[in-house]
Amino acid sequence: MLRLELGKPSVGNCDGVDRRHALRLGATSLLGGLSLPTLLELQAKAGTGREVRAKSCVFLFLEGGPPHQDMWDPKPDAPVEIRGPFLPISTNVPGTFITNQLPHCAKIADKYTILRSHSHRDNGHSTGYHYVMTGRRANFADGDNPVPNNDYFPSIGSIVARELNQGGAVPPYINLPHPMQGGGPGFYGAEYAPFIIESDPTQPDFEVRDLQPISGLSNGRVSTRRKLLAGIDRLERSRAQGRASVMSTYYEKAHSLITSSEAKRAFDIHSEPDDVRDRYGRTQIGQCALLARRLVEGGCRFVGVDAPGWDVHFNCFPSLQTDLIPYADQAFSALILDLEERGLLDETLVVMMGEMGRTPRVNAQAGRDHWSMAQTVIFAGGGVKPGQVIGATDKHATAPSTEPISVNDLLRTIHTLMGIDPDRTYLGPLGRPVPLVDGGKFIDALV
Amino acid sequence: MHPHSSAPEARYQLAPQVYLAWCIFVVWGLPMPSPAVAGLIVSPTSVVLDSPEASQQLIVSLTDEVGRRDVTGDIRMSVGDVSVADIEGRALVRPRSEGRTEIVIQFGNETVRVPVDVIKQRLPDPVSFRNEIIPILTKARCNSGGCHGKAEGQNGFKLSIFGFDAESDYAALMKDGKGRRISLTQPQTSLVLVKGTSQMPHGGGRKIEVDSYRYNRVLRWIREGARLDPVSSETGQIVSIEVEPREQILLANGTQQLRVTAIDRSGTRRCVTVEAEYESNAAAIADVDQRGLVQASDVPGEAAILVRYLGHVTSCRVTLPRSGVMFERPAETNFVDKLVWDQLGRLGIKAGSAASDSEFLRRVYFDTIGTLPTSEEARRYLADASTDKRDQLIEELLNRDEYVDYWTMKWLDILRADQLIVTPQGTVAMQRWLRHCFQQNVPFDQMARELLTVQGSTTAEGPGAFYKILKEPDEMSRAVSQLLLGVRIECAQCHHHPSERWSQGDYTALAGFFTGVKLKKLPNGTEAIVSLGGKDLPHPRTGELVSARALGAAQTDLSGLSDRRVALADWLVRPDNEFFAKAIANRIWAHYLGRGLVEPVDDIRETNPATNEPLMKALSQHMIGVKFDMKSFTRTLLRSRVYQLSSESNDSNRDDLQNFSHATYKALPAEVLLDAISQSTGVAEKFNGWPDGYRAIQIWDNRMPSYFFQIFGRPVRATVCECERSGEPSISQALHLLNSPEITAKIRHREGMARRLAKSELTVDELIDELYLTALSRFPRDEERALMADAFAVPEISRQEAVEDVLWALLNMKEFIFNH
């Protein structure tokens, strides 16, 4: 399927390290002396020059724009129309305060890092999703755009799938439970599109699209079908070439997804003990976070959790207080503790953010509006130095008072933490090289 | 093994050409071969090194009975006086001090002597910033798109990409950065040197070694006052570059040293082998390093080595024949066969066997009309004993309604008929226009003219909506260029195209044809395209007005024209237009043969040559010869034996992906596959909001939500690039075909194929025949029949269930999912 060409150092990178490139030839076997993981390791080190810990990323995407000042960046000294009704509480890190709506997270502030100085200038939802997921400003107007809306530029998840896929039974890039708006593969094509489960893991009859055994097939028919398929495969194997033989490998993967215990286990949230499921919360974000952990254990490289509902323009505090923040608080803290308990936190990068923050001033309808000038981003695991607060906003949480962290700074940092060279390029359909990340700086303070 | 490959039939003749291929003398430009040793050729015959950093690449080759091969790296050579000159690496001659000496090359008992003159070491000509410093910045990749060449520069230091703008690069070095980048008083402390050599921390690492020739040249330039030479200075502008050899046949794992020579306005030639940049378009066949050494692999084929120096581009074609192959030349139907067999003979690749009737039937249906043959059609065709039945079938298909459906769909994609942007009415208007064109077989030059010069309502039948997608004149010219000329010029918007001849001036000149195009609101709320007048556009860098001019053409007289686009259309369809016929010929070829002769199909340039240039040329001529009649052109392709080759490969051609030695497995477009599934299961797809009876290839709504379309890569029509349609397989596709409720429902449907067949009187054997003919357009082989019969032999599985299971299995065969 892949031929890896390793003999020649190709044209040097800007980072001064020669990069090796993998070349797709449509041949049927893995040639070359190095295994893919070894190659990934080499590439990781060659591209960035730092030790790579993060093998996977769980991206909790709070869609709609979570209010930074009501969660992670409280401003108790500001007037009430700015600070809102929530009060700051201390965390287990002396000197770090967050709002009292995040009690679970307050107990484990030593396990993650709060970055308060993220800022950009795209104040729309669908354009913002596009921007955050691809690092490129959308070329369409904000509105009811198709999903995914990134026609051209690949999303971060598709990039990770392309760069780090290890070929296990579990797909490398998954969206839970719905497709992320900016989460498509762009010009990378269907091969790097997210695998989308399209069903709700909180439901008792939760199952993944096209993964459940076909209903009403007796055991006899299942085994007959298996025999037919194996027979066909035997007869076809010598004949199929090129894409068709690549398809054979996908058939094997699909078959193992359907039949392998590994993949079944990964998606089988029902096998989690009740107390674990309760710990995450029986909410969509909670159960998706739990499923994300299972998928990471199964070898998935990028799980994007689509957690909508944060666009709180009207009477926002009751819903923030009852549904939104507590669910996120519980899901995030349970995920971090669970990953840590299982020894996975170090190799799993967890990022929680939205496409923007919300307006400093509470509006006339007791809501907060779009505000991309300031947002707080939470990082944990994957080699991130925990227990820190990075950056700050001004006294009304309007804009960063420290150096602003851009979308591409975030993307560059995530790629780098995962051992992906952000400056690697692929030729786009227009024949121009498209780098994985469009500029940006690595956030040094994070490691 | 197919009989054709082991026992040649009478109609195959042995070709003498294959043996000749080994004796082809590659013709080199300069200089004359040295007569000293028969068989040993050293070039050049004398060397002049005229600056302290000059170098001259020698190439030594050996001629024997198998041809001419490069021995530059294998042969012993020495310098008479090493205080005058020296040899570095693979026969690169460098100066040491002024004087005369010679290079002595020994081969067996023979000796060749090459005199060397080293001059201008003590009082060299000043270093030219334009000709000598810029290439250093380029070669070290300082000005690449990932580093200081990107739009915002890198860490405050910004260079023009690939050094196309010497003035601004000079300013960036001299004036920006508080003058620390260049220090005239202490040249060695110039930041450009201490950072470039990594003596001071540099994000990009070490790009230049201290005391290397490059370092010394930059240092000398600074010592001489770091001046920007005027454009017309004595050192002269470089007007062209040459690479030697231009063509070379290599053995597996063989090597070839290249030499690159830059020629300035005065005709002076200088070896720039070490400063030029190299790139292979097929590294799997032959790769090249940055000293110009080509290394062949063991994969037979052809590679173009692209050479770039100071905005000039040239290429060397490397051919790697497979050794020890007796080429059996198959018969020829037309010129396509002749030129493909020629190439296969040259490369030593065996042609595959001829496709069987069923293979041809299924392929020609899918390719021509995007539709699977029914079992009835397959039966009839397979039983037909007439000798010209393939030709008859081709005629029949070209006249079917589905031909119009399918080609309309393909062109709606290419013309970006995205209903979100051009509105549903606009999409339908384009669809109707395309349907008309394919129905009437409107010649492509006329179609192109209509597309280019359309005026009037964007919702009336016609291609007007195309201009709704393109807002600015330069967007229009870019799209039209890629679409109709196969030339991608967008790079030239911001800089000289790094691997092509197009400049910002060419880009601006082309956009000048579209400056009169306006979208006018009509009283009834619709819009109309109007093109009236127009003006020339300013050059983005110099600000001077650039007259409208087509690519590579002379300036056009626009006086008396109300629509400037008419002049472009006139040029477009002229027979001497080198791009237009080639672009459409290549596009149609790629559709039927699975790969363009030039790939990507819309990236035609000197540095991306066709894999079979003579064939590309002949096809362009043929397109002109048939007056752009697309059916006629298609007929030629479909009748060729090349198109009618089997997709089965043999040991000799298995790895061949670009010479058309056997048919390839092509992904079926999402719509075609869905229609094939619907037809095989006997259950039409219900498209949400559409009346019954539509097939997927007729649906113009590119935004129709469909999980099937999404995972099988239906394009969203965001670009005019055909590459948008993804043929790449994915897990989701396999899962969906194997296990989805949707396809299960079709297989089980109460009025579906499986149930109908199960209820019939057919025997098990007949059932299996019918299922194979339905899904695969062929009868089963014995072992397949036996395998499928087993499903009917399981006692607890009913006849109907067994039919369902067999149908399910067939729909999951690669043979079903792909066009082959």
Give the separation between CA B49 and CA B85, rounded to whole angstroms: 9
CA distance B279 to chain A (A): 9
What DSSP designation does B788 have? H
Three-class DSSP category at B555:
strand
Residue in chain A closest to B646 (alpha carbons) equals A239
Q: Does A127 reside within a domain?
A: yes
Does the distance separating the beta carbons of A240 and B730 come in below 8 Å?
A: no
Does the distance separating the beta carbons of A187 and B724 come in below 8 Å?
A: yes
Contacts of B62 (CB under 8 A, 6+ apart): B39, B40, B41, B68, B69, B71, B107
B chain contacts of residue A199, beta-carbon cutoff 8 Å: none
Count of CB atoms situated within 10 Å of the CB of B691:
7
Distance between start and end Cα atoms, chain B: 18
Of B141, B784, B805, the CB nearest to A11: B141
Helices then strands, each counted (H, E), chain B: 30, 29
Does the distance separating the beta carbons of A429 and B730 come in below 8 Å?
A: no
Query: Could you tell me whether strands A88-90 and A97-99 are parallel, antiparallel, or unpaired per DSSP bridges?
Result: antiparallel
Q: Which two tokens stand for residue A66?
A: 């979570």
Tell me: pLDDT of B29 over 60.
no
| CA distances, B592 to each of B487, B544, B596, B660, B698 (Å) | 21, 46, 9, 11, 20
Q: Does A157 reside within a domain?
A: yes
Q: Which residue has the tokens 């082998």?
A: B273
DSSP secondary structure letters along A272-288 = S-HHHHHHH-SSHHHHH
Query: Which H or E run contains A97?
Result: strand A97-99
Tell me: pLDDT of A67 over 90.
yes
**Angle at the Cα of B711 from the Cα atoms of A180 and A134, rounded to 5 degrees:** 35
Closest listed residue to residue B311, CA positions, set B552, B507, B498? B498
Q: Does A367 reside within a domain?
A: yes
**Angle at the Cα of B20 from the Cα atoms of B15 and B23, rounded to 5 degrees:** 165
Model confidence at A152, pLDDT cuts 50, 70, 90, reads confident
Report how far Cα B545 is from the mean position of its chain's Cα atoms. Answer: 33
Does the distance separating the beta carbons of B703 and A211 come in below 8 Å?
A: no
**H-state helical runs in B463-541:** 466-469, 473-480, 491-494, 504-511
Tell which of B205, B223, B241 closes a domain: B223
CA distance A417 to chain B (A): 18
Q: Which two tokens stand for residue B195?
A: 């950072």
Closest listed residue to residue B779, CA positions, set B355, B457, B357? B357
Does the distance separating the beta carbons of A247 and B734 come in below 8 Å?
A: yes
Long-range contacts, B611-618 (Cβ 8 Å, 24+)? B611/B302, B611/B658, B611/B659, B612/B339, B612/B340, B612/B343, B612/B659, B612/B660, B614/B339, B614/B342, B614/B343, B615/B336, B615/B339, B615/B340, B615/B343, B616/B582, B616/B585, B616/B586, B618/B335, B618/B336, B618/B339
Q: Does B169 reside within a domain?
A: yes
Is-cis flag, bond preceding B321, omega within 30?
no
CA distance A369 to chain B (A): 28
Helix axes B357-369, B375-383, angle to 10 degrees: 130
Mean pLDDT of B775-783: 96
CA distance A113 to chain B (A): 27
More confident residue, B388 or B346: B388
Long-range contacts, B223-232 (Cβ 8 Å, 24+)? B223/B187, B224/B126, B224/B127, B225/B184, B226/B129, B226/B173, B226/B174, B226/B182, B226/B184, B227/B126, B227/B129, B228/B129, B228/B130, B228/B166, B228/B167, B228/B170, B229/B126, B229/B128, B229/B129, B229/B130, B229/B131, B231/B130
Of the ranges A128-142, A165-179, A208-222, B482-496, which is most confident?
A: A128-142
Give the count of alpha carbons within 13 A of B379, CB side only: 10
Mean pLDDT of B197-222: 88
| CA distances, A63 to each of A125, A366, A394, A398 (Å) | 8, 20, 24, 20
Distance between start and end Cα atoms, chain A: 37
Q: What pLDDT does residue A178 have?
A: 85
Q: What pLDDT does residue B167 have?
A: 86
Q: Which residues pair with A31 in a beta bridge?
A: A3
Model confidence at B625, pLDDT cuts 50, 70, 90, reads very high
Q: What pLDDT does residue B21 have?
A: 33
Tell me: pLDDT of A307 over 90.
yes
Does the distance separating the beta carbons of A433 and B145 come in below 8 Å?
A: yes
Rg of chain B (C-alpha set): 31
- Left (φ > 0), alpha (ψ -120 to 50) or beta: where does B30 sit? beta
Q: Does B427 reside within a domain?
A: yes
Closest listed residue to residue B808, CA positions, set B747, B759, B755? B747
Q: Which two tokens stand for residue A343?
A: 């020894």
Q: Does B108 reside within a domain?
A: no
Of A232, A251, A435, the CB nearest to B734: A251
Of B603, B726, B794, the CB nearest to A189: B726
Give the separation between CA B539 and CA A53, rounded to whole angstroms: 50
Q: Does A27 reside within a domain?
A: no
Question: Which of B158, B495, B735 has the most A C-beta neighbours within 10 Å, making it the best mutation to test the interface with A?
Answer: B735
Q: What pLDDT does residue B9 have?
A: 33
Percent of chain A at pLDDT above 90? 63
Tell me: pLDDT of B63 over 70.
yes
Q: What pLDDT does residue A408 have?
A: 97
Mean pLDDT of B793-810: 95
Q: What value does the mean pLDDT of chain B take?
A: 87
Per residue in A353-387, pLDDT (tens digit) is: 999 999 999 998 899 999 999 999 999 999 999 99
Does the distance separating the beta carbons of A248 and B814 come in below 8 Å?
A: yes
Percent of chain B at pLDDT above 70? 92
Contacts of B65 (CB under 8 A, 6+ apart): none
Tell me: pLDDT of B32 over 70.
no
Three-class DSSP category at B153:
coil
Q: What pLDDT does residue A34 have?
A: 34
Give the separation between CA B637 and CA A24, rounded to whole angstroms: 29
A chain contacts of residue B728, beta-carbon cutoff 8 Å: 189-191, 243, 246
Contacts of B175 (CB under 8 A, 6+ apart): none
Does the distance separating the beta carbons of A255 and B734 come in below 8 Å?
A: yes
Tell me: pLDDT of A194 over 90.
no
Tell me: pLDDT of B724 over 80.
no
More confident residue, A109 or B158: A109
Tell me: pLDDT of B384 over 90.
yes
Percent of chain B at pLDDT above 90? 55
Q: Which residues pair with A302 in a beta bridge?
A: A57, A173
Count of CB atoms situated within 10 Å of the CB of A30:
13
Q: What pLDDT does residue B232 have?
A: 65
More confident residue, A314 or B639: B639
CA distance A325 to chain B (A): 33
Does the distance separating the beta carbons of B144 and A258 come in below 8 Å?
A: no
Contact call for residues A273 and A30 (beta carbons, < 8 A): no
More confident residue, B525 or A245: B525
Mean pLDDT of B123-149: 87
B chain contacts of residue A429, beta-carbon cutoff 8 Å: 600, 719, 721, 723-724
A chain contacts of residue B474, beta-carbon cutoff 8 Å: none
Residue B110's φ and ψ, nearest 5 degrees, are -95, 155
Count of CB atoms situated within 10 Å of the CB of B738:
21
Residue in chain A closest to B711 (alpha carbons) equals A190
B chain contacts of residue A229, beta-carbon cutoff 8 Å: 809, 812
Tell me: pLDDT of B685 over 80.
yes
Mean pLDDT of A337-345: 97
A chain contacts of residue B655, beta-carbon cutoff 8 Å: 27
Tell me: pLDDT of B19 over 80.
no
Give the separation between CA B316 and CA B245, rounded to whole angstroms: 7
Tell which of B180, B203, B223 closes a domain: B223
Domain that holds residue A404: 55-206+261-418
**Angle at the Cα of A223 from the Cα atoms of A218 and A229, rounded to 5 degrees:** 125
Closest listed residue to residue A351, CA positions, set A51, A118, A25, A153? A118
Domain that holds residue B413: 404-551
DSSP secondary structure letters along B198-253 = TSS--TT---S-TTSHHHHHHHHHHHTT-----TT-TT--EEEEEEE-SEEE--TT
Question: ipTM for the complex?
Answer: 0.73
| CA distances, B574 to each of A29, A143, B563, B578, B581 (Å) | 48, 45, 18, 9, 9
Tell me: pLDDT of B356 over 90.
yes
Tell me: pLDDT of A201 over 50.
yes
Tell me: pLDDT of A419 over 70.
yes
Residue in chain B closest to A221 (alpha carbons) equals B797
Of A187, A214, A229, the CB nearest to B809: A229
Q: What pLDDT does residue B98 have?
A: 95
Residue A297's φ and ψ, nearest 5 degrees, are -60, -30
Mean pLDDT of B315-322: 86
Q: Does A8 reside within a domain?
A: no
Residue in chain B closest to A441 (alpha carbons) equals B155
Tell me: pLDDT of B675 over 80.
yes
Q: What pLDDT does residue A242 have?
A: 63
Q: Please tell me the total count of domains within chain B.
A: 2
Q: Does A442 reside within a domain?
A: no
Q: What pLDDT does residue B495 have?
A: 67
Tell me: pLDDT of B668 over 90.
yes
Per residue in B130-139, pLDDT (tens digit) is: 889 999 998 8
Of B603, B707, B735, the CB nearest to A257: B735
Tell me: pLDDT of A319 over 60.
yes
Does the distance separating the beta carbons of A244 and B820 come in below 8 Å?
A: yes
> Which amino acid is present at A217?
L
Q: What pLDDT does residue B526 have?
A: 87
Q: What pLDDT does residue B5 have?
A: 37
CA distance A344 to chain B (A): 26
Q: Does A243 reside within a domain?
A: no
Tell which of B208, B223, B238 closes a domain: B223
Question: Which of A248, A249, A251 has the most B C-beta neighbours within 10 Å, making it the best mutation to test the interface with B?
Answer: A251
Tell me: pLDDT of B17 over 50.
no
Three-class DSSP category at B172:
helix
Q: Lowest mean pLDDT: which of B5-14, B668-677, B681-690, B706-715?
A: B5-14
B chain contacts of residue A257, beta-carbon cutoff 8 Å: 731, 735
Does the distance separating the beta carbons of B796 and A171 come in below 8 Å?
A: no
Tell me: pLDDT of B150 over 80.
no
Q: What pLDDT does residue A207 have?
A: 83
Residue in chain A closest to B713 (alpha carbons) equals A190
Does the distance separating the beta carbons of A146 and B729 come in below 8 Å?
A: no
Does the distance separating the beta carbons of A250 and B733 come in below 8 Å?
A: yes
CA distance B169 to chain A (A): 18
pTM: 0.74
Of B205, B735, B781, the CB nearest to A15: B205
Three-class DSSP category at B35:
coil
Three-class DSSP category at A337:
helix
Tell me: pLDDT of A247 over 80.
no
Question: Which of A210, A416, A441 has the most B C-beta neighbours within 10 Å, making it the best mutation to test the interface with B?
Answer: A210
Q: Lowest mean pLDDT: which of A6-10, B174-178, B490-494, B641-645?
A: A6-10
Of B600, B723, B726, the CB nearest to A190: B726
Residue A54's φ and ψ, nearest 5 degrees, are -75, 120
Rg of chain A (C-alpha set): 22
Model confidence at A33, pLDDT cuts 50, 70, 90, reads very low
Mean pLDDT of B376-385: 97
Of A187, A195, A210, the CB nearest to B740: A210
Does the distance separating the beta carbons of B665 and A244 come in below 8 Å?
A: yes
Tell me: pLDDT of A91 over 50.
yes
Q: What pLDDT does residue B815 have?
A: 93
What DSSP designation does A400 have? B
Q: Lowest mean pLDDT: which of A282-286, B322-326, B570-574?
A: B322-326
Q: Please tell me the total count of domains within chain A.
A: 1
Q: What value does the mean pLDDT of chain A take?
A: 85
Q: Does A49 reside within a domain?
A: no
Q: What pLDDT does residue B23 have?
A: 31
